[in-house]
Structure 1
Amino acid sequence: MSSNRVATKSSTGKRLFQYAMIYKKPIILALTLLLLAASAELAGPFIAKRMIDRHILGVEQKWHEVAGKQDHAVEYRNKWYKREDYFKAGETLGPESRVLQVGKSFYFLNGPLASEKGERKVEDGKLMVVDPNTAATTAYPVAKLSKEELFRFYKPEIPGILKLGLLYLGLLLLVGLFTYGQQRLLQFSANRIVQRMRQDVFAHTQRLPVKYYDNLAAGQVVSRITNDTETIRELYVQVLAQFVNGIVYMIAVISALFMLNVRLALIALPIVPILFLWVILYRRFAVDFNRILRSKLSEINAMINESIQGMTIIQAFRRQKETMQEFDEMNDFHYKYQNKLLNLNSMTSHNLVNTIRNLLFTLVVWLFWGDNLGSAVTVGLLYAFIDYMNRMFSPIVGVVNQLSTLETARVSAERVFTLMDEEGTEVATGKIDRYKGEVIFKDVTFAYKEKEYVLKRVSFAASQGETVALVGHTGSGKSSILNLLFRFYDTNEGTIVVDGKDVRDIPKQHLRQHMGIVLQDPFLFTGTIASNVSLDNPEISREQVIQALKDVGAYDMFMQLPGGIDEPVIEKGSTLSAGQRQLISFARALAYNPAILILDEATASIDTETEAIIQQALDVLKRGRTTFVIAHRLSTIRQADQILVLDHGEIVERGNHDELLEQRGKYYAMYQLQQGTMLTAQP
């Protein structure tokens, strides 16, 4: 793995931790509740061990005759007996007796048992015990206990069993409460973290320069803001809880096992390094699969987004089959790697965990069967060991099953942070006074791609209140001039000056504060006609919105709609005509009262009648405002103060309409062609 990849992963993990620390109090509280829940739950096997060894199997311990009825004493055949572990220190022990189980029956032995080991069987009222070392048989006279007699020996243990049962029930209730609180707090924290992350990444998309989006599809950006951040949420909800739970359980269980039996604990100890290696091997393969899957999912989202936006063209040109084929190829590629990840998860999932667990149980049973661990291993101890191992393997299964989510979340976080690491421009606060709008271009050279210049040493000046028209063939550099004026891009060479100040010394937000633009393809947001004019700017009153619509001659037109200027506008204003959308866009620019107004083919989508209305409004609105107009229809710029004719990024002609016609150059040829007249050859 390259050093860059390692650095990226380290940075990603660190930044995920930093986001978590924003809400560290609920997270720490949640993890504390998780620790309490684990501690309460892990007390269960200790309770079960005591219940089995002391209260259930404890009946086979030594019993001693006592003088009469007393606490924990049992009457049998007119004599009273008490178990040895209930005698107080220094208390005299009477003759010894035993209660022994053989098969499903219990027998009373009036006397001591020479050896605890050996196979037992009862024949003709005698207990036969075969010594495992010498094969010698020892016989003991015994009496079979009836159910009523056996119950008497168990009766003193019932209060203890009930107390332990109630204690265990109480612990289960505490576990439930702690788990509920832990999950709720983690869910809350995760939702707030992802909410904050989405706010940050979306805010950063507003700071990114326009050129960043030239090579990145909108669907890919959307995927990072929505899908990738949602995947990160699972990291804080599921993965964090499972990993902390697994670590706590492993530490607690191994500690408990050492308290129970050191040799049993040593048998379970190798599980820790095995799990660690397991995680390393899994991540080695899973990270690449997840990176490919997340990238391909973004491409699919981008393709779907593009298809929906271009559905009219797709259907008009009968490209449904080809579009579907392209989607199928991307979908099949995603399916292929999804299956690769599925196979990896299947091989390293809980089935493998269960296999390891069963092998471990087999080893312990074999050792216990061979009695290699000694007589210290009681049934209760063995039960507690198996219970603890089950409790430890359960969170291990959870950890293993969350490895896929972990890697998916890390890759998603890496993609989100890569977007956030793109260099952006901080949003400038405050306002600047409205500038006059005097614009000067000085030897401006610019290229979108290195050495592919679209503007070459362009120079011109526009005074306050002037209208400057830019004309030329497609690709001549008209829109590039306006992109530079708005500082969507910066010049490679030369300077652009507004009111005597280099635009690079003016924050972009301040520069654009007093600029308005109307594009050839107007963009409308979901809302109303009025909200699309004001863009919900609280500084633009409803009266200003109405006045702007009146100035462009659109107010009466929109008031005829059912909702008037509050008529709903759906996405991109698809229910409005092209002319209506353009009028809203034009009113929007005017409502902001710009010092510099830019019209980029603003009348291209408007019919002749509507264009005439706008032209009348422009005569009033141009006063005191510098206006730049890009137009292919030369009839709309006849009144411009100066017209710049561009060709391959250079200004080849300049002047007003009449002056350019007199020159009989490119402008003259373009005008004559549009007017449908024949060009007159010049001597």
Structure 2
Amino acid sequence: MKQSTGRRLLQYALHAKTTFIAALLLLSIGVAAELAGPFIARNMIDNHMLAIERPYFETNSQGNAVYYNNEYFKRGDRFEPGESKGREVRLLQIGRSFYFIGQPVEAIDGKRSYVDSQVTIDRGSERFSYPAVQLAIEDVFAFYKPELPGIYKLVALFGLFLMISIFAEFGKTYWLQSSANQVVRKLRTDVYAHIQRLPVYFFDNLPAGKVVSRVTNDTEAIKELFIAVLSNFATGIINIIGVYTALFLLDVRLGLVSLFIVPVIVIWVILYRKIATKYNTIIRSRLSEINAIINESIQGMPIIRIFRRQKQRLDEFETLNEDYLKYQNKMLNLNSLTSHNLVGALRSLSFALVLWYFGFGSLGGGTVLSLGVLYAFVDVLGRMFQPIIGMVNQLANLDTSMVSAGRVFKLMDEPGEDVTDGEMPRYRGNVVFKDVSFAYKKDFVLRDISLTARSGETVALVGHTGSGKSSIINLLFRFYDPQRGTISIDGHKTTDIPKQWLRKHMGIVLQDPYLFTGTIASNVSLGDESISRKKVEWALREVGADRLLAHLPHGFDEPVVEKGSTLSAGQRQLISFARALAFDPAILILDEATSNIDTETESLIQQALEVLKKGRTTFIIAHRLSTIRSADQILVLHRGEIVERGSHDELMGFGGRYYRMYQLQVGSAAQSVDAAQASKSDPAVKVPAAMQSAHSQS
């Protein structure tokens, strides 16, 4: 049963769980430090700045006392237990002025006014009047002076929390990005390793550019998930939890009123992703197709230039690019129309509810909250919308990342070849095909193929294009397995031998050899530690590569670019021969290894071939029949069947399909000369009548 994309991403995140946990812990500390600010502000407002309106009492003690009008007064909550209190007095603020009232005040809530040395407080139908004296600025400061030490402490505490928040933000960002890089490195390595395990036929139907896009673009998008998306969502969620905790600590009823924001966000995320996923799936697909066409165009640039197809390729690219742009714009419209509008609406609605609450005093008809609580509530609620903006703005990246992750995991779900540790001893190379039939899809491309290749023999496969030559080699390498029949090496069925073990003792030289970026020497050894530098140089000398490569400035250490495009076809072919020789295979496959070589180089290649074939079972796929005359047996294939088999001379004597193919290639006159010479040297060789007449006419 396949796991969900989110669960699989979580499993990858667990590879860096220590740093992730540390980052989230620092994030929580940072959020707590930031949210401490409103509580400090509330304390400063309620307990110091506005606390000047609390009851004062006459006292004989001078500690924390205010000297006014030849008397000492101390705030009621600052008396020590058992300390005696004198008469009560109050200070009230009206406008920008403060007034001293030398008696208790029954009510301070209501509309205040000062007229004719009287402070009047109107509360509903009630009116309260008190004799009062307006305070000078120095007298007001005298009453504030005992508050300053407490205010300084709170400012210092605020600075401390600010520093904690700064360091927590740095640590959170560093560890979160570090853990994200670890996760993406692990994911990218796993994807690349899985690509190495995918069967060869998988790549027949998937362009290289699309595979590259999965490994690069899609994994990079997943990196954004762990850095930007996770950071913003984790910050947002922890902030929201912290904000709601703070709101409920300030006032339970206002916290309950503000809870409506949570379901709105959840519903929005669900609806957004339903629409955005459709767009992002197409966007990622188009990006893969763009990469594929770019890769194909670069690989085929000479053909594009020669046949003047630049405009057509540009039109194809523009069509894809236009479609990509169209869906990018749809995503842009979706984000522009929703994200900021949603947050703005939530902010306005939240503050409207707060104003409504304070406008009516309280939801339950109780007393109005203090100004400090009001300030802290508005501050805390305002702090919640910044992380909400961050979360909403990351919804596009979230969906892009999830779509990309789905594409990556879909590639990783493709069945790969099992990797088996260890290796088998080098086999002798006796190959037997017994009644083998094979189909790539529905129609059989090989039918009842039976052949025997003894150790050290050379077997040539000839036939028209599509006759099944390459399919036999694909089965031998176990790129595919036959639907019917068996293939055995030294008496062991190939299906019973792990693929890695089987291929350990096989080598191949392709018609167009592939060289990797590196040096000539590294292309021979392919980084195999068991192949020493001495063996590399020996292999190159044995195949005669030193003669073609001697003029290079760095010799065998000459840099090789991708595909070896700076080297000639002959040089590339000799390097591939040396590679095969260095790996010392028991079975060697030559896939038309001399077809792209010029006549001058061919003799050198033929000598290298003879060196390479010694002591090995060799299969040659040949189109140039002149290169396989010395083969021990030649198999002629037609429409997936072996229609003729034998040595060159035997097949020429049959006068069948091979004879006609050879005649077409070499020419009847040249064939007749060869045949006449062969008949003189060996009278047992039968010369067809057609060839004899051709010879006599010449």
TM range (shorter): over 0.9
Opposite residue 65 of structure 1, the aligned amino acid is E
8 A contact 2:108–2:121 mirrored in 1: no
The alignment partner of 1:296 has SS state of: helix
Q: Which residue of 2 aligns with 1:149?
A: 139
Deviation per CA, 1:235-288: give whole Å up to 9, x if none: 222222322222222222222222211111111112112211121111211222
Q: Which residue of 1 aligns with 2:33?
A: 40
Partner of residue 50 from structure 1, selected from 43, 49, 61: 43
Opposite residue 405 of structure 2, the aligned amino acid is A
Q: Which residue of 2 aligns with 1:122?
A: 114
Residue 360 (structure 1) shift? 1.0
TM-score normalised per structure 2? 0.93
8 A contact 2:361–2:368 mirrored in 1: no
Aligned partners of 2:553 and 2:485: how far apart in 1?
52
Q: Which residue of 2 aligns with 1:267?
A: 257
8 A contact 1:522–1:585 mirrored in 2: yes
Say whether residues 1:641 and 2:632 are aligned partners.
yes
Partner of residue 16 from structure 2, selected from 23, 36, 45: 23
Residue 90 (structure 1) shift? 4.6
8 A contact 1:72–1:82 mirrored in 2: yes
Partner of residue 593 from structure 1, selected from 584, 587, 592: 584
Q: Which residue of 2 aligns with 1:300?
A: 290
Aligned partners of 1:547 and 1:100: how far apart in 2?
103
Residue 138 (structure 1) shift? 4.1
The alignment partner of 2:269 has SS state of: helix
Aligned partners of 1:94 and 1:265: how far apart in 2?
41
Deviation per CA, 1:200-249: give whole Å up to 9, x if none: 11111111100111111111111111111111112222222322222222
CA RMSD across the alignment? 1.8
Say whether residues 1:243 and 2:233 are aligned partners.
yes
Opposite residue 612 of structure 1, the aligned amino acid is S
Say whether residues 1:618 and 2:609 are aligned partners.
yes
Partner of residue 340 from structure 1, selected from 326, 330, 333: 330
Opposite residue 366 of structure 1, the aligned amino acid is W
Q: Which residue of 2 aligns with 1:574?
A: 565
8 A contact 2:543–2:611 mirrored in 1: no
Aligned partners of 2:14 and 2:612: how far apart in 1?
53
Aligned partners of 2:166 and 2:577: how far apart in 1?
62
The alignment partner of 1:458 has SS state of: strand
Partner of residue 534 from structure 1, selected from 521, 525, 542: 525
Aligned partners of 2:178 and 2:274: how far apart in 1?
32
Deviation per CA, 1:42-61: give whole Å up to 9, x if none: 22211110001111111111
Partner of residue 224 from structure 2, selected from 222, 234, 237: 234
The alignment partner of 2:440 has SS state of: strand
The alignment partner of 2:72 has SS state of: strand
Aligned partners of 2:611 and 2:112: how far apart in 1?
115
Q: Which residue of 2 aligns with 1:4?
A: none
Say whether residues 1:368 and 2:358 are aligned partners.
yes
Opposite residue 11 of structure 2, the aligned amino acid is Q
Residues 443 and 356 from structure 1, CA distance in 2 versus in 1: closer, same or farther, beyond 3 angstroms?
A: same
Residues 629 and 495 from structure 1, CA distance in 2 versus in 1: closer, same or farther, beyond 3 angstroms?
A: same
661-670 or 174-183, which moves further after superposition? 174-183
8 A contact 1:582–1:605 mirrored in 2: no
Partner of residue 583 from structure 1, selected from 574, 589, 605: 574
The alignment partner of 1:449 has SS state of: coil
Aligned partners of 2:318 and 2:295: how far apart in 1?
15
Say whether residues 1:325 and 2:318 are aligned partners.
no
Partner of residue 311 from structure 1, selected from 287, 301, 322: 301
Q: What residue ranges of structure 1 are gaps of 5+ in the alignment?
A: 1-6
Residues 621 and 301 from structure 1, CA distance in 2 versus in 1: closer, same or farther, beyond 3 angstroms?
A: closer
Residue 648 (structure 1) shift? 1.0
Say whether residues 1:656 and 2:647 are aligned partners.
yes
8 A contact 2:429–2:490 mirrored in 1: yes
Aligned partners of 1:406 and 1:620: how far apart in 2?
59
Q: What residue ranges of structure 2 are gaps of 5+ in the alignment?
A: 672-688, 694-698
Residue 594 (structure 1) shift? 0.8
Opposite residue 302 of structure 2, the aligned amino acid is T
The alignment partner of 1:270 has SS state of: helix
Residue 426 (structure 1) shift? 2.2
Residues 388 and 492 from structure 1, CA distance in 2 versus in 1: closer, same or farther, beyond 3 angstroms?
A: same
Work out the percentage of aligned pairs sharing the same amino acid.
Answer: 58
Aligned partners of 2:145 and 2:367: how far apart in 1?
27
Partner of residue 498 from structure 1, selected from 478, 489, 495: 489
Aligned residues: 672
Q: Which residue of 2 aligns with 1:608?
A: 599
Q: Which residue of 2 aligns with 1:518?
A: 509
Aligned partners of 2:116 and 2:522: how far apart in 1?
102
Opposite residue 129 of structure 1, the aligned amino acid is I
Within a 5 Å distance, the mapping from 1:544-559 to structure 2 comes to 544-559=535-550
Residue 462 (structure 1) shift? 0.5
Aligned partners of 1:625 and 1:63: how far apart in 2?
109
8 A contact 1:353–1:397 mirrored in 2: yes
Aligned partners of 2:615 and 2:502: how far apart in 1?
18
Q: Which residue of 2 aligns with 1:665?
A: 656
Say whether residues 1:284 and 2:274 are aligned partners.
yes
The alignment partner of 2:459 has SS state of: strand
Q: Which residue of 2 aligns with 1:489?
A: 480
Residues 586 and 621 from structure 1, CA distance in 2 versus in 1: closer, same or farther, beyond 3 angstroms?
A: closer
Residue 619 (structure 1) shift? 2.9
Residue 412 (structure 1) shift? 1.2
8 A contact 2:99–2:135 mirrored in 1: yes
Partner of residue 163 from structure 1, selected from 153, 158, 175: 153
The alignment partner of 2:668 has SS state of: coil
Aligned partners of 2:128 and 2:48: how far apart in 1?
28
Residue 647 (structure 1) shift? 0.9
Q: Which residue of 2 aligns with 1:256?
A: 246
Residue 376 (structure 1) shift? 4.3
Aligned partners of 1:554 and 1:591: how far apart in 2?
13
Opposite residue 305 of structure 1, the aligned amino acid is N
TM-score normalised per structure 1? 0.95
Residue 117 (structure 1) shift? 2.4
